[in-house]
């Protein structure tokens, strides 16, 4: 516990002795004077330059290394920040002045790189002019499409009647007044900047903004912002969104931004269109995503982006154009239907050809011998000769046919059939001639 101070004391004595410095100089120095004559130069837009006097003797300045510690504090945070040791009694700093700022400085005496004495702080409050209730409220900006910027605010509660806000900005050393003022649908006032010079790959570029009153309303308290353009950038949407048949979605990061690929985060939104079920997926750095979906449904997919991994932007981009996934079943069904229709058409064509070719054949009567020779089979048990003897008692075939008709009073169609049978009987007659027996003689 006591080792460290003891070591430091020995080290200090040794180093002072060895560097030929008068030890009594430090020994007589009970306290170091704090800096004096603090001067503050307001460079507008919250930029300030500070000068001070160390208030240290020539002896000390000649024999010791003197440094200055500069710190600042916002009233709304309440903590002192920035403890850098400065080699010179001058410092530049930018503040959002309307938040209320205090600064403080102290002298530090070093010997061989070690602090041997410190002064008390010299402190100063930097006043923001005007009534705080006239300040622009809810101030917010969005940088979009590379070089355009909109800033909006609401009027302070105690804005003097007839007063108007004016917005000025400083970027890359150029100071301009914003030209296109508007009041939006929500009643916010705002201003649109069409062409903000694009910083080339400078990730720490800030735009300084001051919203104060017009020249005839100087009582408006100025609102100061130091805007990190990257945090307020709304990127253009990703483009070239595509879906491969293997359900891999790919896209391109928005073109024209010098941000490293790995800084981007993407949000995919998958909508099942029939049920309007929405799902979101997030991917970082890569520009593809493999979907796992029900192939029988119809979906739409869109992508948006923001910077997440390097710094986090405040806004998402707009959504990309939507791409659609058509259900696979519908696609197959379409093919099957087409094939079926083609097959059916070919069959109809084929059938009509067959029909034309065999029309006569199809409509001709097919004779049924069983019907005509019913008696032969039923009454004569298939004995042809007995049956023929009964059927043809006369030798004249024409008369025989007539007799049959009268006896059995058969309908006209049947007569025709019988006449065809009598024709068949020629064969029986032929048979008689060839065998020498008459048909009539048989019975």
Ligand X SMILES: *[C@@H]1O[C@H](CO)[C@@H](O)[C@H](O)[C@H]1NC(C)=O
Binding mask 149-178 for ligand X (x = CB under 6 A): -x-----------------x----------
Q: Which is nearer to ligand X, 44 or 269 (CB)?
A: 44
- Quick check: 230 binds ligand X (CB under 6 A)? no
Q: How far is the CB of 213 from ligand X (least distance, A)?
A: 5
- Residue 403 is encoded by which pair of tokens? 């007799």
In 366-411, where does DSSP find H-type helix? 369-372, 374-378, 384-391, 397-408
Q: Which is nearer to ligand X, 285 or 400 (CB)?
A: 285
Which candidate, 327, 326, 295, 322, places its Cα nearest to that of 241?
322
Q: Which is nearer to ligand X, 189 or 212 (CB)?
A: 212
- Quick check: 45 binds ligand X (CB under 6 A)? yes
Contacts (Cβ under 8 Å, ≥6 apart) of 11: 114
- Quick check: 57 binds ligand X (CB under 6 A)? yes
Q: Which one of 112, 248, 338, 352 is in contact with ligand X (CB under 6 A)?
A: 248
Segment 191 to 220, residues that bind ligand X, using CB under 6 A: 192, 210, 212-213, 215, 218
DSSP state letters, 87-118: SSSEEEEE--GGG-EEEEEEEEEEETTEEEEE
Q: Which is nearer to ligand X, 246 or 294 (CB)?
A: 246
Look-up of token digits 């065999």? 358
Look-up of token digits 């519908």? 330
- Quick check: 145 binds ligand X (CB under 6 A)? yes
- Quick check: 44 binds ligand X (CB under 6 A)? yes
Q: How far is the CB of 332 from ligand X (least distance, A)?
A: 20
Contacts (Cβ under 8 Å, ≥6 apart) of 299: 270, 271, 272, 273, 291, 293, 324, 325
Collapsing DSSP to helix, strand or coil, 373 comes out as coil
- Quick check: 255 binds ligand X (CB under 6 A)? no
- Total residues contacting ligand X by CB under 6 A comes to 26
Which candidate, 154, 188, 156, 181, places its Cα nearest to that of 167?
181
- Quick check: 142 binds ligand X (CB under 6 A)? yes
Q: Which residues bind ligand X (CB under 6 A)?
A: 31, 33-34, 36, 44-45, 55, 57, 120, 142, 144-145, 150, 168, 182, 192, 210, 212-213, 215, 218, 222, 244, 246, 248, 290
């Amino acid at each position: 516990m006591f080792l460290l101070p003891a070591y430091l004391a020995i080290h200090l004595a040794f180093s002072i002795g060895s560097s030929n410095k008068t030890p009594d100089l430090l020994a007589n120095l009970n306290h170091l004077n704090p800096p004096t004559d603090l001067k503050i130069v307001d460079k507008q837009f919250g930029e300030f330059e500070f000068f001070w006097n160390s208030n240290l003797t020539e002896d000390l300045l000649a024999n010791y290394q003197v440094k200055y510690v500069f710190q600042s504090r916002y009233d709304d945070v309440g903590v002192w920040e920035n403890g850098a040791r400065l080699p010179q009694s001058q410092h530049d700093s930018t503040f959002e002045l309307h938040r209320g700022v205090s600064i403080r400085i102290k002298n530090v005496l070093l010997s061989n790189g070690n602090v041997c004495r410190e002064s008390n702080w010299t402190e100063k409050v930097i006043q923001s002019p005007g009534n705080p209730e006239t300040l622009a409220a809810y101030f917010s900006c969005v940088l979009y499409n590379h070089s355009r910027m909109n800033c909006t605010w609401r009027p302070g509660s105690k804005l003097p009647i007839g007063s108007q806000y004016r917005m000025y900005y400083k970027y890359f050393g150029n100071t301009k007044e914003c030209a296109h003022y508007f009041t939006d649908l929500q009643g916010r006032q705002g201003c649109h900047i069409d062409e903000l010079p694009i910083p080339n790959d400078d990730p720490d570029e800030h735009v300084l903004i001051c919203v104060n009153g017009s020249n005839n309303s100087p009582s408006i308290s100025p609102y100061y912002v130091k805007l990190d353009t990257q945090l307020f950038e709304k990127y253009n949407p990703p483009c070239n969104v595509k879906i491969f048949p293997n359900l891999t979605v790919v896209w391109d990061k928005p073109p024209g931004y010098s941000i490293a690929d790995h800084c981007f985060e993407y949000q995919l939104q998958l909508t099942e269109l029939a049920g309007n079920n929405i799902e979101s997926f997030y991917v970082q750095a890569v520009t593809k995503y493999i979907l796992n979906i029900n192939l029988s449904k119809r979906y739409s997919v869109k992508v948006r982006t923001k910077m997440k991994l390097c710094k986090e932007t405040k806004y998402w981009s707009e959504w990309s154009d939507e791409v659609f996934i058509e259900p696979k079943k519908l696609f197959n069904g379409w093919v099957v239907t087409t094939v079926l229709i083609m097959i059916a058409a070919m069959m109809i064509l084929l059938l009509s050809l067959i029909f034309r070719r065999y029309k006569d054949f199809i409509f001709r009567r097919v004779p049924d011998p069983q019907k005509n020779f019913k008696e032969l089979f039923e009454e004569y048990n298939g004995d042809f000769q007995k049956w023929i003897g009964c059927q043809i008692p006369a030798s004249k075939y024409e008369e025989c046919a007539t007799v049959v008709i009268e006896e059995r009073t058969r309908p006209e169609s049947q007569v025709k059939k019988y006449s065809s049978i009598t024709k068949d009987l020629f064969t029986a007659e032929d048979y008689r001639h060839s065998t020498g027996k008459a048909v009539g003689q048989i019975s």
